[in-house]
Chain A
Amino acid sequence: MSLLTTLARLEAVRSGRAEPLATVRHRHLSDRPMVLVPLTAAGESGAPLAVLLGTDREAPRLHLVPQPLNRTLRSDFLAGLAADLLPYLESFAEDVEQIEGSEKDPETGEKTQVFRELCADAPQLIVPNGAGVRHLALIGRSTRFRRTAEDADPGPYPAPVRVPLLGRWLTHFTDRAQVPGSSLLLPMTSLLARHWATGQSHLEDQHLAARLAWHRPPPGLTGAEAAELAESARDDAGQLLHPPAGPATDPRFDEAVLAPAITRYDSAAGALRHAAEQGDEAAAERARAAVRAAVGQLEEALTAVLLPTWRDVWYGLDLLRALPPAGHLEERWTGDRWSFTGHRDRLAAGEPPQPRQDDAVTAARKLAQREREQARLDVQEALDDPLAMAEHRLAGEAFSGVVTEVVPDWDTTGRSPKPRPLVTLRTTDRPHADLGREAHRVWGSSRPEGGAGPSAQKAEIVAVDPVGGTVTLRVLSGMGRRKEPEPGSLPEPGEAVTFTLFELTVRQSAPLPEPDDTPWTHGGPPGAAPVPAPSTSEEWE
């Protein structure tokens, strides 16, 4: 956390409301996001209890497991979830555009033109918090290796047909969520934290309702007071007025509401089994009605604890949509679309599910990708948002100022003289500007849209006067090929300019070997290691 964020938090303490941390929206928001609010059964790692989901805020759909320990009921739940979620994901797979690219023939080295399909849009899942992402990852992990009745050896407990597919998609989405700046799967608390500061700690910000309380405190209350009410206010029955966003439920809800409701379901289901064994049709009919009633009660109780969070997530989306989109959103979302398209193609090609643990090369690739994307995100956010650039200025990695003087000068060491003008600017910033250090000019809003704008401009710091607040730079590039700089390529005296001490494009890292060429230091090619057979016994018991 930087001092600027701290300052925003201090201001929020004083104002009693959330304060902006960004002037634009830094994450892509789909027009048709799927909001997913999951709940888990306490004590059972990743065992699903219920999920409320949908793309229409007025029409959420509830899926639940009436007895979380029953594997058949859990399979039914997962099948229902797959039948609900997969059509949404697959609806984005059809509409594609052709992207032109070139491919090098490995033998002749000749470049040939190729076209690759890129899905025109991609799905987007929104969950309330980071724990929700981890919960989806656990469901993905527990289902993607399951065998179904369609497999050659289905095992004693075959899963419904589409469940492993659901697991593979969830694994892909949760994996992609690790990539900085990606937007396929987003937790609402992180989205809000990127764009607003509250007057409480990051720890307390994990509580979605408490966090949102800072955005809309009821009249007469400060954000802190409203947040405390969201955290701890209870009704006469001792139940939280605003249940936690999950996936864990409030222990007192488990004790007073959920446990009795599950017990009612168990006894009704037991009576039904008994009646079926006895062949007593009338009793069975009564028991079926009791089971339906018990499920109805569970639905009612779970909907009641899920709906507040459901509304919160949509309210959060409203807040975020009110911000203008950042300039580089399209570019990053295209990366997400490639990611979605790539997984679609892997599924279509019949590739096996993602392994439990990545092999050395894949892991190194993922790490390199995340580091590269983090660097790219940092640069793009700084270019898109003066508040993000202010972080770099505060850190001494960038400086803004007004040009006071431009002195033409030339480098005459070569055959023809090259322009190397000196630009002096007055700044209140205190950059770590060592003499000779490279600086990169940030083209502000004056830069025209598209590729026709001025090219990247590099400069070298030649003089710094901290007392007078001036920095002098020698411009090295971006002025055309002639003796005189291209008109408009140099700032005029009186113009405000910004330079960074970091590069504005992210360098590609060195290529990694193919998995089959993994060096022995990293375990050798993955094929050498035995692949553990996906087990059917590995289930919650």
Chain B
Amino acid sequence: MNVSTNVPPGGSAEPLAQRLAELRGPAPQRSLNARSLAALAANPGCHRRAVLDAAGVDKSALAARLGRPAPFGQSPFAIARGVIFESRLKADDYAALLEPLRHHLGVPADGHAPLEVPDLLQRSGPAVRADRTAQALARAAADPDAWTLLDHPLLRLDVAGGTSYLEPDALVVHGGRCTVVEIKSFPVLDGSADPAKVGAAARQAAVYVLALQRAAAAAAGVPLSDDPYTEQRLPGSPRTSVLLVCPKDFGNRPTAVAVDVRRELATTRRQLSRMTGIGRLLEALPPDAGFDLACDEAGAPARTAEQLTASVEAVPAAYSPDCLSTCELGFHCRARARRDDRVEQLGRGVRGELGSIRTVAEALAAAGTKAEDLAGTDDGTDDDTDGGAEDAAERLAYAAALRAEALAAGAPA
């Protein structure tokens, strides 16, 4: 579960934060949680998403206002299943959760060093909870022999001028280091799980690991290592392998698998470092751009759909069909890509295949060129400036000739 809230830095008049708040309007800032941070990494080149996420705009509501609502939703059955699995793990003083942890981390059986589960003030506000988590983590890390489990801790992560609060399912602290525990309700069947789901979980856990690394580096007063693949062995710093706890086979018995998230960590760090460059993206925005979704008392929207569309268009997007399953604006961006006749609508691979040809019309025009005409342009002087397009166009013309010949040959006589 990821309940997190974004709180703008208290009272600071940072121009960046202020500009982002202006863009968003009076609506509450949408939280950047681990899932949305991880999803950003899926399409790092998209400025549109970067700006909207940094401003905390409710992209679902925005997509609906643009006329193409996001098709996402979670079945109540899936939610219930997740809740039941997690509550079973935590029943009887975490008995079921301890079994796989014992297996993997060597948590001792009851009696030797009892597991401590400090109260993390779940009902308090996020700032209090985060402070409490930091204290509990520091105390637990100070005693290398103790075994401590932090249940739903709250971590801080500064992203693009705002503070995000992230909530991992659990942290296990021992030997001065901590391990992120992520509980998922998809099964591990005969020792393997759905790679797409494991990948998503790993990306999400990598965000937690990053938050913990930064906190540990800050507490120790040392800078975060430049290389995401090196593990800084600081007090309270996280291991770069996280524990994924899932149901085993078709039952409800848990099993734990260690997942190395260093690669995901590197991607997330690179992505977040780009987000801090958000200021440059904002400079390119026209002054009247804004994503205010609010309505006044009479129900009249602060901005019309046309104004919103124009503002969204002012930030360039990097659409690819993968966006449809990860981004709320996917359907909107797809409609734009289609309207603009862009080749990205067919997939990222197509874009690479066609070189500098950007539109379907250009590609088909190239395919329609006769081979002889192409041979003539080879003598042209602009060869080195437009060589990529020339090459792709030539291959397209060749492919078109082959396709026409084959279709004619294959047509029933």
Interface of A toward B, CB cutoff 8 Å: 1, 3-4, 6-11, 13-14, 20, 23-24, 41-47, 68, 138, 141-142, 199-204, 224, 228, 231-232, 249-252, 254-255, 258-259, 324, 356-357, 385-387, 389-390, 393-394, 428, 430, 537-541
Q: From B76, B78, B354, B401, give the contact of A6 (CB < 8 A).
A: B354
A356 touches B78 (CB 8 A): no
Chain A residues with CB below 8 A from B406, complex form: 23, 385-387, 389-390
With the chains together, A390 CA to B81 CA distance in Å? Answer: 51
A204-B321 in contact given A13-B345, A41-B77, A42-B77 (Cβ < 8 Å): yes
Please determine whether A540 and B250 come into contact, CB atoms closer than 8 angstroms: yes
CB atoms of A9 and B350 under 8 A apart: yes
**The one of B79, B187, B346 that contacts A10, using a Cβ cutoff of 8 Å:** B346
Interface string of B176-191 (1 = CB under 8 A from A): 0000000001110111
| B208 in the interface (beta carbon within 8 A) | no
Tell which of B250, B401, B411 has the most Cβ of chain A within 10 Å.
B250
Asked if B346 contacts A200 (CB within 8 A), the reply is yes
Report the nearest A residue to B187, measured CB to CB.
A45
- Residue of A11, A142, A201 near B345 (CB, 8 A) is A201
Q: Please give the distance in Å from B397's CB to the nearest CB on chain A.
A: 10
Q: Does B294 contact A (CB under 8 A)?
A: no
- Whether A387 and B410, one on each chain, are in contact in the complex, defined by CB atoms closer than 8 angstroms, is yes
Q: Report Cα–Cα, A200/B322, bound state, in Å.
A: 12
Report Cα–Cα, A537/B360, bound state, in Å. 57
Q: Main SS of chain B's interface residues? A: helix
**Given A6-B346, A68-B77, 15 other A-B residues pairs in contact with their CB atoms under 8 A:** A1-B349, A1-B350, A1-B353, A4-B403, A6-B354, A23-B411, A42-B75, A42-B77, A43-B77, A44-B81, A204-B321, A249-B75, A390-B406, A539-B251, A541-B252
The B354-413 residues at the A interface (CB cut-off 8 A) are 354, 360, 363-364, 367, 371, 395-396, 398-403, 405-407, 409-412
Which residue in chain A gives the minimum CB-CB distance to B348? A201
A390 to B: closest C-beta gap in Å: 4
* C-alpha spacing A24/B411, complex, angstroms: 9
- Distance (Å) between the CB of B320 and the closest chain A CB? 8
Q: Does B118 contact A (CB under 8 A)?
A: no
Say whether B367 contacts A10, CB under 8 Å. Answer: yes
Q: Do B71 and A231 touch (CB < 8 A)?
A: yes
Q: Distance (Å) between the CB of B351 and the closest chain A CB? A: 10
Minimum CB–CB distance from B167 to chain A (whole Å) comes to 21
The proximity string for B residues 219-263 relative to A, scoring 1 for CB distances below 8 Å and 0 otherwise, is: 000000000000000000000000000010111100000000000
Contact call B346/A201, Cβ cutoff below 8 A: yes
20 CB < 8 A contacts A-B: A3-B399, A4-B402, A8-B403, A9-B350, A10-B346, A13-B341, A20-B407, A23-B411, A43-B77, A44-B77, A45-B189, A45-B250, A138-B189, A232-B68, A251-B78, A255-B75, A259-B76, A356-B190, A385-B410, A394-B402
Q: Does B273 contact A (CB under 8 A)?
A: no
| A6 partner residues in chain B, CB cutoff 8 A | 346, 350, 353-354
Residues of A within 8 A of B399 (CB): 3-4, 7, 390, 394
Min C-beta distance of B42 to chain A, whole Å: 13
Smallest CB–CB gap between B270 and chain A, Å?
Answer: 24
Q: Is the CB of B364 within 8 A of A14?
A: yes
B28 neighbours in A (Cβ, 8 Å): none
Partner of A201, one of B81, B82, B186, B321: B321
Interchain nearest-CB distance for B337 vs A (Å):
10
Distance in angstroms between the alpha carbons of A138 and B80 in the assembled complex: 21
* Closest chain A residue to B247, Cβ basis: A45
Distance of A537 Cα from B253 Cα, bound (Å): 11
Listed in ascending order, the chain B residues whose CB lies under 8 Å from chain A are 68-69, 71, 73-82, 185-187, 189-191, 247, 249-252, 321-322, 324-325, 331, 335, 338, 341, 343, 345-347, 349-350, 353-354, 360, 363-364, 367, 371, 395-396, 398-403, 405-407, 409-412
| Separation of A45 and B74 alpha carbons in the complex (Å) | 15
Top-4 shortest CB links A-B: A23-B410, A43-B81, A43-B78, A42-B75
Q: Once the chains bind, are A204 and B79 in contact (CB under 8 Å)?
A: no
A3-B399, A43-B185, A203-B324 known; A324 vs B412 contact (CB < 8 Å): yes
Contact call B251/A541, Cβ cutoff below 8 A: yes
- Asked if A3 meets B353 with Cβ closer than 8 Å, knowing A10-B364, A390-B403, the reply is yes
Contacts of A68 in B (CB 8 A): 77
Closest chain-A Cβ to B322's Cβ sits at a distance in Å of 7
Nearest CB on A from B347, distance (A): 4
Q: Which residues of A contact B346 (CB under 8 A)?
A: 6, 9-10, 13, 199-201
Given A10-B363, A394-B402 in contact, is the A386-B410 Cβ separation under 8 Å? yes
Q: Across the interface, do B75 and A43 meet the contact criterion of CB distance under 8 Å?
A: yes
Query: Quick one: given A1-B349, A6-B354, A10-B364, are A390 and B405 in contact (CB under 8 Å)?
Result: yes
Nearest chain A CB to B369 CB, angstrom units: 13
Contacting residues, chain A, for B347 (C-beta < 8 A): 1, 201-203
Cβ of B39 to closest chain A Cβ, rounded Å = 16
- CA A540 to CA B249, docked complex, whole Å: 9
Q: What is the distance, in angstroms, from B277's C-beta to the closest C-beta of chain A?
A: 29
Select which of A24, A224, A389, A538 is within 8 A of B250 by beta carbon. A538
The minimal Cβ–Cβ distance linking A495 to chain B, given in whole angstroms, is 15
Across the interface, name the chain A residue whose C-beta is closest to B78: A43
In the bound complex, do residue A386 and residue B405 qualify as a contact, i.e. CB atoms below 8 Å apart? yes
Given A43-B78, A45-B187, A141-B190, check contact A538 B251 (CB 8 Å): yes
Name which of A7, A11, A204 has the most chain B CB atoms within 10 A of its CB: A7
Task: Give the residue of A141, A201, A255, A541 whose beta carbon is less than 8 angstroms from that of B76.
Answer: A255
| Chain A residue contacts of B77, Cβ below 8 A | 41-44, 68, 254, 258-259
- Minimum distance in angstroms from A425 CB to a CB of chain B: 15
Residues of chain A contacted by B76 (CB below 8 angstroms): 251, 254-255, 259
B250-A387 in contact (CB<8A): no
Q: How far is the CA of A200 from the CA of B400 in the complex (A)?
A: 19
The answer to whether A254 touches B75 (Cβ under 8 A) is yes
Give Cα distance in the complex from A245 to B135, angstroms. Answer: 50
Bound together, the chains give a CA A41 to CA B73 distance in angstroms of: 15
Give every chain A residue within 8 A of B78 (Cβ-Cβ). Answer: 42-43, 251
* Cα-based distance from A20 to B409 in the complex (angstroms): 13
Point out the residues of chain B lying under 8 angstroms from A430, CB to CB.
398
User: Is B322 a contact partner of A203 (Cβ separation < 8 A)?
Assistant: yes
